[in-house]
């Protein structure tokens, strides 16, 4: 059985990497692409970090795994809760039968904090508050720091004095992560290794437009990752092991911020307790929904991109369905100048329509060139306004896939986010649970070398656990604010 190494590049755009390959910025990626199977990996709707990475490595959608956005709103308590690994309802790929008996390494995968037990080593990703809380087993953080003293979990741009300092920190973070991964790989031959680079996403949000990137920091970070890929491929080529390269989403230009609650207000579906103009001018508005009149607000929006939720406390099941269908019909008819490129009902996208985690209606504003911002839902009285943060780039649904190694002839393919976990199982010669609906035949694998192992029946009651940790991890908010996400 070959070892499998999965390298994630947060926000890697197929178009940008193709450009860097042509320009010589990423020569190793160019070679791997020519020798292996590559294509577009379509992200989740919406293409946000928590949902996408969790979908990639559970093989099920958000209605099943329980992670949709950075926060979830408790309508009965009028409070927000930060998403974390304790809310996850489905097992990650390294927790599945046939894999959990193998040795696994997981480094900096988003939404893995707090760390959970693993047969191997885990370093949690974004929102981890300190190095002391980084690892499973818990005491392993000392060993990690001994291997790579400069390892850092993330870069929070609001905590740096200037852009120069932040760019240098992001570059050093990528370099240190590459060094640590190489040292961990050389120390033990894990059966499954997963390592994620996040500096790409952090810098592309700020410097996606080239004219705003005088330091060429986006290209420099991609160059660091490319050099790492070259060294890794040389090692894997000698051992006959398999490399998978994935991204959770791509990137595109950010044109505007989107305020869907103002659309609802114009339709008389959302009401304030006080004067809307004074509310929009208030700094308090960023901290929650305390200004809404919940007895007269049947629909509300929160989170990134554009997600609508129904007020189940004031609506009966029948009235909820009627209101939602009427709203979708109105928006799809195009009578309103909304700039929406798509409107989805949740059952169009998600397997479990009874899930309360996913929104009732999902709006795609301007082909994702505009985005709603969590924590700033009422910052402007307009439907679209200029970006409130110094961002020039935002998430696009077109991510990246590449497979390289023995048993992967040159080819192209197209994958969905749910296909990645089944492909990892196939590469490890492990059968997949029947509840994983992703396809393990899209990865470009040679059937004679890496055959499909079939599936085994799984009951939903066994697979999706309702027992999860509900601890309030308030420090997560500090991390998200530091990133500019709140």
pLDDT at 8 over 80: yes
Domain that holds residue 372: 256-385
| Angle (nearest 5°) at CA 486 between 214 and 135 | 90
* % of the chain beyond a pLDDT of 70: 90
Q: Are residues 106 and 230 in the same domain?
A: yes
pLDDT digits (tens, 9 = 90+) for 79-131: 888 899 999 999 999 999 999 999 999 999 999 999 999 999 999 999 888 88
Of the three residues 332, 358, 385, the one that is the final residue of a domain is: 385
Supply φ then ψ for residue 149, to 5 degrees: -60, -25
Based on the structure, what is the number of domains in the chain?
A: 2
Q: Which tokens go with 32?
A: 């791997």
CA 352 to CA 261: how far, in whole Å? 26
Q: Are residues 96 and 164 in the same domain?
A: yes
Of the CA atoms within 13 Å of residue 244, those in its CB half-sphere come to 29
pLDDT the model gives residue 283: 46
CB 194 within 8 A of CB 107: yes
Among all chains, which residue has been given the structure tokens 């991609």? 222
Q: Are residues 362 and 397 in the same domain?
A: no
CA 326 to CA 368: how far, in whole Å? 24
Q: Are residues 244 and 260 in the same domain?
A: no
Average pLDDT (441-459) is: 88
Q: Are residues 171 and 274 in the same domain?
A: no
Q: Are residues 121 and 269 in the same domain?
A: no
State the chain's mean pLDDT as an integer.
Answer: 91
DSSP-derived secondary structure letter, 119: S
pLDDT digits (tens, 9 = 90+) for 200-231: 999 999 999 876 666 799 999 999 999 999 99
Beta strands in 438-484 (DSSP E): 455-456
Q: How confident is the model at residue 310 (pLDDT cuts 50, 70, 90)?
A: very high
Of the three residues 368, 385, 402, the one that is the final residue of a domain is: 385
DSSP 3-state assignment of 316?
coil
CA distances from 103 to 95, 137, 191, 246, 265 (A): 11, 13, 5, 21, 53
pLDDT at 247 over 90: yes
Q: Are residues 169 and 243 in the same domain?
A: yes
pLDDT the model gives residue 265: 92
CA 155 to CA 320: how far, in whole Å? 42
What is the maximal distance between C-alpha atoms in the chain? 69
DSSP-derived secondary structure letter, 222: H
CA 261 to CA 301: how far, in whole Å? 6
Average pLDDT (370-394) is: 91
Q: Are residues 300 and 368 in the same domain?
A: yes
Q: How confident is the model at residue 287 (pLDDT cuts 50, 70, 90)?
A: very low
Helices (H), 213-362: 217-239, 260-266, 276-280, 317-333, 346-349
Q: Are residues 19 and 152 in the same domain?
A: yes
* % of the chain beyond a pLDDT of 90: 76
Closest-CA residue to 415 (of 17, 65, 39): 39
Q: Which tokens go with 150?
A: 């400069």
**Chain centre to alpha carbon of residue 462:** 26
In this prediction the pTM is: 0.94
pLDDT at 284 over 60: no
Q: Are residues 51 and 140 in the same domain?
A: yes
CA 78 to CA 472: how far, in whole Å? 15
Q: Are residues 80 and 200 in the same domain?
A: yes
Q: Are residues 442 and 474 in the same domain?
A: yes
Between residues 287 and 305, the one the model is more confident about: 305
Of the three residues 385, 404, 422, the one that is the final residue of a domain is: 385
Helices (H), 36-162: 49-58, 62-65, 141-147
Q: What is the CATH number of the domain that holds 457?
A: 3.40.720.10
Supply φ then ψ for residue 124, to 5 degrees: -70, 165
Kindly tell me the burial class for residue 157, based on how many C-beta atoms sit within 10 Å of its own C-beta (0-12, 13-18, 19 or more). buried
Give the DSSP H or E segment for 251. strand 250-253
Residue 346, C-beta contacts closer than 8 angstroms, at least 6 positions apart: 63, 353, 355, 358, 359, 360, 361, 362
**Chain centre to alpha carbon of residue 441:** 23
CA 300 to CA 307: how far, in whole Å? 8
């Amino acid at each position: 059985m070959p070892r499998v190494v999965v390298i994630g590049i947060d926000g890697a755009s197929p178009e940008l990497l193709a450009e860097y390959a042509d320009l010589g910025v990423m020569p190793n990626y160019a070679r791997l692409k020519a020798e292996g199977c590559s294509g577009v990996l379509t992200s989740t709707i919406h293409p946000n970090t928590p949902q996408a990475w969790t979908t990639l490595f559970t093989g099920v959608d958000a209605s099943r795994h329980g992670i949709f956005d950075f926060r979830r709103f408790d309508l009965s308590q009028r409070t927000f809760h930060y998403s974390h690994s304790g809310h996850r309802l489905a097992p990650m790929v390294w927790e599945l039968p046939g894999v959990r008996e193998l040795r696994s390494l997981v480094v900096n995968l988003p939404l893995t904090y707090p760390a959970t037990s693993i047969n191997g080593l885990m370093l949690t990703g974004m929102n981890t508050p300190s190095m002391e809380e980084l690892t499973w087993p818990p005491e392993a953080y000392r060993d990690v720091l001994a291997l790579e003293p400069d390892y850092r979990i993330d870069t929070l741009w609001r905590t740096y004095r200037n852009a120069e300092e932040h760019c240098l920190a992001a570059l050093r973070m990528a370099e240190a992560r590459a060094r640590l991964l190489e040292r961990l790989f050389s120390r033990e031959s894990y059966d499954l290794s997963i390592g994620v680079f996040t500096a790409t996403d952090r810098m592309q949000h700020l410097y996606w437009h080239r004219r705003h990137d005088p330091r060429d920091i986006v290209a420099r970070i991609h160059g660091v990752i490319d050099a790492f890929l070259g060294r890794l491929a040389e090692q894997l080529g000698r051992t006959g092991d398999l490399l998978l390269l994935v991204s959770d989403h791509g990137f595109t230009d950010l044109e505007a911020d989107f305020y869907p609650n103002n659309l609802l207000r114009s339709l008389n579906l959302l009401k304030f307790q006080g004067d809307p103009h004074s509310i929009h001018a208030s700094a308090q508005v960023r901290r929650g929904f305390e200004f809404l009149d919940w007895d007269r607000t049947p629909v509300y929006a929160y989170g990134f991109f554009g997600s609508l939720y129904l007020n189940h406390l004031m609506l009966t099941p029948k009235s909820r369905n009627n209101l939602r269908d009427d709203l979708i019909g109105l928006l799809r008819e195009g009578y309103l100048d909304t700039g929406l490129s798509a409107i989805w009902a949740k059952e169009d996208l998600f397997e479990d329509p009874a899930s309360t985690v996913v929104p009732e209606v999902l709006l795609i504003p301007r082909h994702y060139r505009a985005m709603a911002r969590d924590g700033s839902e009422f910052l402007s009285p307009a439907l679209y306004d200029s970006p409130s943060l110094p961002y020039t780039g935002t998430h696009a649904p077109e991510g990246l896939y590449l497979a390289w190694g023995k048993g992967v002839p040159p080819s192209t393919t197209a994958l969905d986010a749910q296909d990645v976990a089944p492909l990892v199982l196939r590469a490890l010669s492990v059968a997949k649970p029947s509840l994983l609906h992703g396809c393990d035949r899209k990865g470009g694998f040679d059937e004679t070398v890496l055959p499909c192992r079939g599936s085994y029946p799984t009951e939903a009651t066994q697979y999706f656990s309702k027992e999860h940790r509900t601890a309030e991890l308030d420090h997560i908010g500090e991390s998200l604010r530091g990133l500019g996400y709140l």
